[in-house]
Structure 1
Amino acid sequence: MLDVAVIESPAAAEASLDPTRSAILAALTEPASAAMLATRLGLPRQRLNYHLKELERHGLVELLEERRKGNVAERIYRATAGSYVISPSALAAVSPDPARAPDQLSARWLLALGARLVQEVGTLITGAAKAQRRVATFGIDAEVRFAGAADRAAFAAELSRAVATLVGRYHDESAPGGRTYRVVVGMHQVPAAPEPTEPEATQENRQ
């Protein structure tokens, strides 16, 4: 089982987004039979089998083993990955293109960069899985709290200069056998966590 699988097919993306099938995928991070899943998810066996076959058809679920109990064969299934990411290539005709309107200060452009990142790295993961090889990548994730807009702007300018200096130092257009890597640096505000909703007062509490 892969840690993460990238869904590139529109049909597979549609299958994974169905609430029932999504619940089946979550349950099948641990191997189980159709009978076990039906009990666990509270679904009729016939309905569960239908969804299971659709997920298997799109490569989201795989048959792990077949156990025989007397004259009955019990098929054990497992999700092909622990989690899934839908690539923008599944919506190729309407996927965002960073080349359309490059603007370092645009949130939409940053989103387009992120979409391209998912698409390109997803393609690499899919190819590497077939070849049973690892993908050479590197990532940094950090949080910084700015005192104000001026500090944020100064940080962005300094970061831009540092990246440009590093790229200029190591980029070698004529290197024989060299490989091109894409460097993406982004910054966005961390969304505030939703405030917990207070339970409605019961009739007893109101009195």
Structure 2
Amino acid sequence: MIDVAVIDDPAAAGVSLDPVRARLLAVLAVPGSATTLAAQVGLSRQKVNYHLRALERHGLVELVEERRKGNVTERIVQATAASYVISPAALAAVAPDPGRAPDQLSARWLLALAARLVREVGELIARSTKARQRLATFAVDGEIRFASAADRAAFAEELGATVNHLVAKYHDESAAGGRKHRLIVALHPSITRDTDEPAPAPAHGPTAPTEE
């Protein structure tokens, strides 16, 4: 089992979004059979088997072992990943295009950048896995509390200048054997919640920058 898998196939995305199948995927972080799963999710073994077959067809669960019990063979399966991210590639016709209206101050443009990040990193992971090569990535995740909007604006301006300086220092368009990398730096307000409001399950996946 890997930590995070990116789903880019529309059919697989549809299967994973089914509430029952999504629950089965969560439970299958630990290997189980249709019999054990039926007791956990409150369904009949036959219905669980039906959903497991659909998940297995799309590579979301895999066979771990088979156990012989009398005249019956019990199939033990497990989710192929601990968590899943659906790539915008699964909705290619309506996927956002960050090149359409670049605007550093637009939250929607930031969302389009994030969507492209998921799509490209998902494809890179698939390629590197197939080639059995390690994918070179790097990410920074942190939180900063600004005293005022003016401080936030000053920080963004200084950060932009620093990044531009580093890009100018290290970018070499004519380097033989060089390879381009995608760099994304994002800043947004942290989400605040009431103390009695349950927080959603944490999202998984790389941030930025990533190898292109």
Same fold (TM over 0.5): yes
Alpha-carbon distance, 1:133 to partner: 2.4
Q: Which residue of 2 aligns with 1:167?
A: 167
Q: Distance in 2 between matches of 1:77 and 1:14?
A: 20
Q: Give structure 1 regions of 4+ aligned residues with deviation exceeding 3 angstroms.
A: none
Distance in 1, matches of 2:178 and 2:82, equals 34
Aligned runs of 1:115-194 on 2, under 5 Å? 115-194=115-194
Shift of the alpha carbon at 1:161?
0.4
Other structure's SS at 1:32 match: coil
C-alpha distance in 2, partners of 1:193/1:89? 31
Map residues 75-94 of structure 1 onto 2, 5 A cutoff. Answer: 75-94=75-94
For 1:50-89, list aligned pairs within 5 A: 50-89=50-89
- TM-score by length of structure 2 reads 0.90
TM-score where L is the length of structure 1:
0.92
Figure out how many residues of one structure are paired with residues of the other and give that number. 197
One-letter identity of the residue aligned with 2:116? R
Residue of structure 2 in register with 1:203 after alignment:
none
Which digits, 9 at most, give the CA deviation of each residue in 1:1-28, with x for residues without a partner? 1111000001111110111000100011
CA deviations over 1:138-168 (Å, ceiling 9, x no partner): 0001111111111111000000000000000
Give the residue type in structure 1 aligned to 2:123.
Answer: T
Which 5+ residue runs of structure 1 have no aligned equivalent?
A: 198-207
1:27-70 Cα distance to aligned partner (Å, 9 max, x none)? 11111111111111111111111110000011101111111122
Q: Secondary structure at the match of 2:181?
A: coil
Kept after mapping to 2: 8 A contact 1:29/1:78: yes
**Greater C-alpha Rg:** 1
Q: Percent of aligned pairs with the same residue?
A: 64
Q: What's the CA shift for 1:176?
A: 1.1
Task: Report 1 or 2 for greater relative contact order, CA contacts < 8 Å, sequence distance ≥ 6.
Answer: 2
CA RMSD of aligned residues (A): 1.0
